[in-house]
Structure 1
Amino acid sequence: MTLSPSVERDNEAATRRGGEVEVNPPRRGRDHRVDAMRGLALLMMFVDHIPQNLLNRLTLHNVGFADAAEIFVMLAGFASWIAYGNAIERHGWREGVSRIVRRCAVLYLYQFGLLLLTVLTIRQWRRIWPLPPDAVEPELAHGSTWLWKVLTLDALPNYLNILPLYIVLLLLFPVIYALLRRSLPLGLGISAAVWLLINVDPDVNLPNWLDPDGWYFDPFAWQFLFTLGACGAILTSRHGGSLPRRRWLTCVAWVYLAFSALESFPWTAWGLPDLRLFPMGPPEKTSLSPVRLIDVLSIFYLVESSRWARRASEGRLGQLFARFGRHSLEIFATGTVLDLYARLAFSLLGASWWMQMAVNVVSIALLYGLSLILDARRKRASERARVKRQAPTPTVSGTMA
């Protein structure tokens, strides 16, 4: 699941001096591609979290090994370098780490609130209507033991497991920043080694009371994707806000994504002949298998090296997605609540075409309305801050005794 702050100073320059990565403050025009990708990932996550929703046949996991979660985590690393890396560089470690801790506290409150709302809703619902089998894990449906497990992030049910991942990744960010600041190859190499260890031994994971296999998103593996996102922010800053376009690398990325689409597309579900080159099972998500990793890296490279993608992100449709992406935490949380009630509504009334149309149209409209409200509030806050900066400093007349 970035859930990260809006990217306020995208494309800030970084230089490499004396083996260290330095973050410098010059500003350029805002690059909306990251916000647009994040907003699109949020909408796909909303759709994917309703299993009966036929719209999820059109989301990323049907045309590739990776899905919206991988996109989101990589962009979280990208945005974290800009938001918190620059904060550490400009204001020092104390202020930078303080901002990270405050953000983690907000994420923790959202996680607890969403889980509390889910459990209480399910308990009230089951008194009146039947429940879908995947509504909530049995351990959460009875008693009060779950409360302590939730508070300690030891109970991570389905659809509510990405915020805890992001909390852990943000808490790791000072270490990631220090390593990358010291040496980009060093930081990336250590992160890759940990990821490789998890792929060799998937049992290395954090405990989950609801799943003996541990966290669905193993943070020891997914930190590599987060770190790669931070590296992406460094490299785009070095090259004027975009990754350098290399024809051979572009061709490799497109060929890999075409192969990924052939292998992942649900041919039989659409009543089509199976065009897969060879049978493949779903690639492992918990440990972030290499085929998933290469998939998301290919997408990121093609978007962040494309002038067309930059122009598209500045257009009307791109700005619609970017508006969702600029308020990722609020949109994600609201989408999660809407997902819950959509699943309950489908279990009660069925998942007919009319029902699906109503749920999708109303839910997406609500999310869009929320994004408009949050955008307007953000603009008002920015305007007040600008006026405050431009206000003349009052002078004191007379002499002091």
Structure 2
Amino acid sequence: MGSTTSHATPRHRRDHRVDALRGVALLMMCVDHIPQNVLNRFTMRNIGFADAAEVFVLLAGYASWLAYGRAFGTRPVSTVLMRIGRRCWQLYVYQIVLVVVCVSTIRIWRHFWPVPVDFLEPELAHGLDSVWRVLSLVALPGNLNILPLYIVLLLGFAPLYALLRGVGTSVVLGMSGAVWLVVNVDPRLNFPNWLDPDGWYFDPLAWQFLFVLGVCAARVAGRHDGSLPRSFVLAAACGLYLVFSAVQSFPWTDWGFDDLRPVAMRVPDKMILSPWRLLDVLALFYLVQSSTRATGLAATRAGQLMALFGRHSLEIFTMGTIVDLYGRLVLTSFGTGFVMQVAVNVVGFIVLLAVARARERQRNAARGAAQGGAGKLGARAPLCGN
């Protein structure tokens, strides 16, 4: 009798902590972008230096390694580069669609109800002479500036991968951190933005460090069964920092309390990703990605719901931005009373949930079709044996 040995390649398990955390960040971003929304008093920006944007970019780096970094080792380089190029093009198309929808919506809305000036940059409110600037990403309207950052970071992923393979993680982190530090010393180093003399709201030269840290974290986690190594001392330090961040950032006076902030300091600069914000998001991420309890929470019904949003981050972010716009317009035009608050938040959540479920059905159908095709090919192939 002969014996057979299985040489099946082990499949990488999807880490639902990453998807769930990204889903939570996406929902918080949606809430935060409606200033009149009472729910934004309960998002992470009120209990920490960082907010959902930092979580989103850090996880973008983490997910990019899972999607493309591992693929470089198993597939032709040209194939992976084409995948990255397609994703960048997809991000660009979504960005342009968002700009068109937002500008046209505001122009139509103001024919019926007043619209505050800050809803649309004056340069975009008149004529179409700035269209080419929007198409070339030289003009980035407010609240529509994170996808261009993601495009720039993703375009740099292949060179980043080559550097990681060539000179190692420590050198790459040192180089990336040095660029971030220089920008923090001189914030004038930025990409030009025709709509803002200070440049891109998310300075790519600073925020690339967060993306690179996410990539490197994914590499480390890949060597430890998908989790970051747990250190009691490091976890305690992260917890203490987050407590300080929460006490320092909480809007005490807005809630009618005495100001209990232990240190007098300005709000950490978001454009250049100040060290306070960077440490805040890294501490939170480490506690989540090194925790088995977080794994269990991600497996609960609530965790899986958040993971559903996180798995389809581009579609949820895009629809969330549109929901933000209409939510702001509705609350501005018709008041911010209890009924309107409930209506805006409930309708917005239902819309996002419908988009997430629709994309999940499409994803599962595509996987089923691909597996069915592979099964048919396998059935037609000659069996080999001895």
How does the TM-score come out when normalised to structure 1? 0.91
2:291 corresponds to 1:297: no
Structure 1 residue 30, shift from structure 2 partner: 2.4
Residue from 102, 111, 114 that aligns with 1:130: 114
Structure 1 residue 278, shift from structure 2 partner: 1.5
2:326 corresponds to 1:316: no
In structure 1, the gaps of 5 or more residues are 1-24
2:345 corresponds to 1:360: yes
Report the secondary structure of 2:130's partner residue: helix
What residue in structure 1 maps to residue 311 of structure 2?
326
Structure 1 residue 354, shift from structure 2 partner: 1.3
What is the correspondence of 1:70-149 to structure 2 with a 5 Å cutoff?
Answer: 70-149=54-133
Report the secondary structure of 1:145's partner residue: coil
What is the CA–CA distance in structure 1 between the aligned matches of 2:241 and 2:51, rounded to whole Å? 15
Residue from 223, 230, 254 that aligns with 1:238: 223
| 1:355–1:40 CA distance, 2 compared to 1 (3 A) | same
2:361 corresponds to 1:376: yes
What residue in structure 2 maps to residue 343 of structure 1?
328
Deviates more, 1:100-109 or 1:368-377: 368-377
CA contact (8 A) 1:136 1:157 kept: yes
What is the CA–CA distance in structure 2 between the aligned matches of 1:354 and 1:149, rounded to whole Å? 40
What is the CA–CA distance in structure 1 between the aligned matches of 2:112 and 2:40, rounded to whole Å? 29
What is the correspondence of 1:1-400 to structure 2 with a 5 Å cutoff?
Answer: 26-182=10-166, 183-393=168-378
Deviations 1:132-184 (A, max 9, x none): 23211111100112211100101111110000000000001111111122211
What is the CA–CA distance in structure 2 between the aligned matches of 1:72 and 1:168, rounded to whole Å? 15
Structure 1 residue 127, shift from structure 2 partner: 1.8
What is the CA–CA distance in structure 1 between the aligned matches of 2:77 and 2:111, rounded to whole Å? 51
| 1:50–1:396 CA distance, 2 compared to 1 (3 A) | closer
CA contact (8 A) 1:180 1:188 kept: no
CA contact (8 A) 1:87 1:95 kept: no
Deviations 1:218-245 (A, max 9, x none): 0000000000000110010111111111
Structure 1 residue 27, shift from structure 2 partner: 2.5
Equivalent residues, number: 373
1:225 is aligned with what amino acid? Answer: L
Deviates more, 1:86-95 or 1:281-290: 86-95
| 1:125–1:247 CA distance, 2 compared to 1 (3 A) | same
Cα-Cα RMSD:
1.4
What is the CA–CA distance in structure 2 between the aligned matches of 1:218 and 1:376, rounded to whole Å? 36
Structure 1 residue 128, shift from structure 2 partner: 1.9
Q: Which runs of 4+ in 1 moved over 2 A?
A: 25-30, 392-397
What is the CA–CA distance in structure 2 between the aligned matches of 1:347 and 1:97, rounded to whole Å? 45
Deviations 1:306-343 (A, max 9, x none): 00000110110100000000000000100111111111
Deviates more, 1:53-62 or 1:179-188: 179-188
